[in-house]
Chain A
Amino acid sequence: MEVGKITWISGPVVKVRISSPLQMLEQVEVSDMHLVGEVLSIRGDEATIQVYEETEGIKPGAPVYGSGAPLAVELGPGLIGRIFDGIQRPLKDLAALSGAFIQRGFTAAPLSRETKWHFSPSVSIGTALTPGQVWGVVPETANLQHRLMLPPNVSGTVTWLANEGDYTIDTPLVKLSTVQGEVTCSMLQRWPVRQPRPIRERVAPSEPLLTGQRVIDILFPIAKGGTAAIPGGFGAGKTVLQHALAKWSDADIVVYIGCGERGNEMTDVLIEFPKLQDPRTGRSLMERTILVANTSNMPVAAREASIYTGITLAEYYRDMGYAVALMADSTSRWAEALREVSGRLEEMPAEEGFPAYLPSRLAAFYERAGRVTTLAGNTGSVTVVGAISPPSADFSEPVTQHTQRFVRVFWALDKDLAAARHFPSINWLSSYSGYRDDISAWWGAHQAPDWQDLGKQMMAILQQESSLLDIAKLVGQDTLPDMERFILLIARTIKEAFLQQNAMDPVDAYSSPAKQVALVRLLLHIYDRGRKIIEQGCPVGRLQNEMDLWPEIVRARATVPNDQPELLQELRTRVDAKLNVIGKDYGA
């Protein structure tokens, strides 16, 4: 329905003289090319609209069509394994319509109306259903049951139900009698992206999201339902780390948002993920991944929308009772999109030209993460990991500063580590995790009762190293006492054998929890024994040269397969043998 005509255009922002009512944040279509837009403000008979596509060639006087509803995404089977743009247009379908370049005015339904899915009802006629309750299931992939839920605002009694069979997503499958009258549901539902999906209650995070990345799982862990930020300058390895998390985290579903980043990175994911195996299920990683790609050269307003599109998809699978991990790379580009649109609206800027509502928008986004009891009573979680690209790697800039207040894990990437090819370049002195206490019980029950302690001991060595290095910088390492030089030796080994992890190495890319624990224990064991020998007067040079297994210890991360952590035990036996020989001379 036409709601008005354009009076003014500047980039992605247009003004409209409205002729029939529009609502705030309503989704609209602009001009006869039907470019998708969203209402930002209404003053008298003038509305301001941000347009999610390039506005070149649009003229004043062109019509604007209303939809009566806010910007929303389609939810249903068929989301997994697909790639969408920031407003959920399926990019593969767009390519079929408009070729290699994204042209304007082409639209395709996010979910296919032709594909048939195998539906099995899980209720029967006469069942009373409350909002969010599951009434049927569809196997979306070999390992994923897509649970068909009643929309959060509907409850009633089943009066009719389709038989088990193959249906398209828009076929009516269930009818309910509700207080508002009869309601029909299919597999397909819609939800406005800017509105968090309702839950019954939040529950405390208690389970780690195992990432297979040693420095994270042992030192700076994240919980399922937690929030983390990865700030880092260019080249520090944000994207490689985000990709590693998307590949190896033990989440049921991964939503990966490429927000204002490189086109080739999304292509890389599209090519690599289908070939990689989920270590838990043995199936292709693409069978649990949804991609939202709004690359840096795609329209900036859709970039702003992309993180809301992504998190709404994540919440939908959370509501089915799944653990969802969402990676947003990069939230800085999202903030810049916000700034750009704000500038066009001539709003009063706060810091660095960002609008004053930047912190509240960031808070609202990260607060959509969490471990929850769903409306239907299941437990599900959305874990959010946001990359930040601070200008000149300066963490005092607004996006990093505001984000730090709303996340509990901070993986600070370090340019110097990256330059020395220490990856992941997570700086152990400036990073932190607020989840260590929440998840230590889980580690205790499943992997290592002393997990909390292992991490603390390792951190203590690294902290001692840092202050010793300050001294060594002035006087040289050789003038330090043997014990201090031994600490430096161990710290260096910890860095090379444990903290560094090669994302390109087929073995090292993912470390199982058992291997991680075995590796820490090995290193701490060498530390303890070595200390005792040195206390008895052994020079550090002897430990360094006669115990000739150091290179093997450092290489163990890539040579010991995940399913054979016992090889580390064997290495430990050999280390002990060497240490026994040396120690004998000093009575240790």
Chain B
Amino acid sequence: MSADIPDRLITKLYRGVDEVYGSILGVSGVSGVAYNEDVEIRLRDGSLRRGHVLAVSEDKAIVEVWTGTSGIEPESARARFTGVPLQFGVSVELLGRVMNGSGEPLDGMALPVSDVMADVNGAPINPTEREYPRDLIITGVSAIDATNTLIRGQKLPIFSGSGLPHNELAAQIARQAHLKHSDEPFAVIFAAMGVRHDDAEYFRNSFEESGAQSSTAMFLNLADDPPMERILTPHLALTLAEHLAFDLEMHVLVIMTDMTNYGEALRELASQRGEVPSRKGYPGYLYSDLAALYERTGILKGKRGSITQMPILTMPNDDISHPIPDLTGYITEGQIVLSRDMHLSGIYPCINVLPSLSRLMKDGIGAGFTREDHPALADQLYAAYARVQEVRSLAAVIGEEELASADRNYLAFGEAFERNFIGQKQTEARSVDETLDLGWRVLSLLPQEELTRINTQDLKLHYVDKSVN
């Protein structure tokens, strides 16, 4: 090997695959292999697999194969070390395209010539170079706009359960999302990890119907695709998002579903690697690994583009304390939690606002952003709805008739809040004013003296006094 040839131009071809277990290959007799280098494995029939170097010593590399090891025959398999970490050729031309979970086209067309080859793992954003997100995205969904406001550059996941309408909600948000004073369109990047064919199809149709298809890139790893590939999929999607947002200054909304499948793929991998498990068998680095995805969100100083993330996950057994929703909630800037009870009572979207939260909301609402009365209104709606839960559990014991009249007011408020305020049609896009006025109307079912979170001036302005009418 001559010293003046750059490493990356040398393709090293080895035959020495001498171990296969799980998704892991052992390749002996190698030299000059780098940690986390991209590896191509060529099988006897000429087909290709991709992997990366998990660990390397002076003469042996441990390679993890993304797309499964079935059919790999140690004698005939050849591993080629590419000399660079896994890269993805990104281009704005990928918008409008459908790819599989490894970034290969599924729509029968060749991939565009890439603008840039980018490391799929990205690099951490320097906190001093971030712009703090402040611009609110109006989704037209009252339960989000009023009480869990989405901000451009935020990572706000949907915590759902099997059979709940999270896909419908995500698609509605992708369709309706806009800024107050701007109609700059979002590019949407959709990453599916281990989802059913019909779910993927639902999103594809939804984007097509709304005419957003040409500004949408889809990465589809379906339920029957190799589990290891699920780990790759969101990395590719976010690499493209970073290119669009920070090189081309576009606004990008990334929808990733289902993060639970991603976490399970990670657990499968960790157990094959023989790692020490922590909670529920998930690896100890699950938090760091999820953070490396979720933190690829935000706005950079001096750039016009932004990345907003909306990961979707199904909570196994509707358990919010399961490691995937739990660790996600610790990283993301809030969460939108769907409720099975509300779904069963026929309310769409079945957003339970009490465990839901938008951490960035405080800086994006109020005077100059939405309306001056918005923060106090949201605060009061929360407090009153929390009280509704107490009253309901009391009513379940002593019966509604036995309740004090103040408590009965709360029941009426709770009903109206769920049916009229949270509940809306899938095709209904409410303006901020409509949403806030509606909030005041349901709040006015309570007597004024109960509304201690609101100052007297706002009460005068907005309280709908029925004794006057």
Contact = CB atoms under 8 A, between A and B. Distances in A.
A548 B448 CA distance: 12
A422 B384 CA distance: 12
Given A94-B126, A270-B127, A300 B35 contact: no
Contacts of A478: 402, 404
B455 interface: yes
B16 to A, nearest CB: 16
Contact of A91 (B127, B277, B329, B394): B127
A39 to B, nearest CB: 19
Contact of A297 (B32, B291, B327, B333): B291
Between B31, B288, B321, B402, the greatest number of chain A beta carbons within 10 A of the residue's beta carbon is seen for B288
B362 interface: yes
A333 B224 CA distance: 34
B394 to A, nearest CB: 6
A92 interface: yes
Given A7-B58, A260-B291, A295 B124 contact: yes
A264 interface: yes
Contact of B128 (A11, A91, A352, A353): A91
Contacts of A91: 126-128
Interface stretch (A124-132, A183-191, A526-534, A550-558): A550-558
B34 interface: yes
B131 interface: yes
Nearest to B399: A476
Interface in B311-343: 320-323, 326-327, 329-331, 333-335
Interface stretch (A98-106, A109-117, A205-213, A432-440): A98-106
Given A101-B125, A421-B383, A550-B449, A263 B130 contact: yes
Interface in A544-580: 548, 550-551, 554-555, 558
Interface in B117-133: 119, 121-133
Given A263-B295, A474-B397, A551 B127 contact: no
A225 B435 CA distance: 49
Chain B binding surface SS class: mixed
A264 B364 CA distance: 14
Interface in A295-330: 295-298, 300
Contacts of A92: 128
Contacts of A233: 326, 329
B354 A419 contact: yes
Interface size class of B (residues with CB under 8 A): 35 or more
A196 B276 CA distance: 32
B275 interface: yes
B355 A235 contact: yes
B432 interface: no
Contacts of B331: 262, 296
A484 to B, nearest CB: 14
Given A57-B34, A95-B128, A392 B333 contact: no
Interface stretch (B253-261, B279-287, B421-429): B279-287
A477 B375 CA distance: 31
Interface residue tally on A, bucketed by range = 35 or more
Nearest to B327: A391
Nearest to A394: B321
B5 interface: no
Interface stretch (B49-57, B100-108, B160-168, B188-196): B49-57
B55 A10 contact: yes
Given A296-B331, A340-B285, A475-B398, A57 B128 contact: no
Nearest to A300: B288
B460 interface: no
A9 interface: yes
Contact of B394 (A11, A271, A473): A473
B413 interface: no
B335 A101 contact: no
Contacts of A385: none
Nearest to A496: B452
Nearest to A263: B127
A179 B329 CA distance: 58
Contacts of B124: 101-102, 263, 295, 297-298
Contacts of B298: 263-264
Interface string A391-430: 1111000000000000000000001000111100000000
B127 A267 contact: yes
Given A57-B85, A264-B133, A389-B330, A235 B335 contact: yes
Contacts of A101: 122-126, 129
B85 A264 contact: no
A504 interface: yes
A311 B48 CA distance: 51
A339 B337 CA distance: 30
Residue among B292, B333, B357, B393 with the highest chain A CB neighbour number at 10 A: B357
Contacts of A444: none
Contacts of A548: 449
Nearest to B357: A235
Interface in A1-50: 7-11
User: Taking each of A11, A300, A476, which has the highest tally of chain B beta carbons within 10 Å of its own beta carbon?
Assistant: A476
Contacts of B398: 474-476
The 10 closest A-B pairs by CB, nearest first: A392-B321, A296-B291, A420-B386, A234-B329, A10-B55, A353-B278, A266-B127, A101-B123, A297-B295, A100-B129
12 contacts: A8-B56, A8-B57, A99-B129, A234-B330, A262-B331, A263-B124, A296-B331, A391-B323, A391-B327, A420-B383, A476-B403, A496-B452
Interface of B: 31-37, 54-58, 84-85, 119, 121-133, 153, 246, 275-279, 284-285, 287-288, 291-292, 295-296, 298, 300-301, 303, 320-323, 326-327, 329-331, 333-335, 354-355, 357, 359-360, 362, 375, 379, 382-383, 386-387, 393-394, 397-398, 402-404, 449, 452, 455
Given A353-B278, A422-B383, A551-B452, 12 more contacts: A59-B33, A59-B56, A99-B126, A100-B303, A234-B329, A235-B357, A267-B131, A271-B132, A297-B296, A336-B288, A339-B278, A421-B382
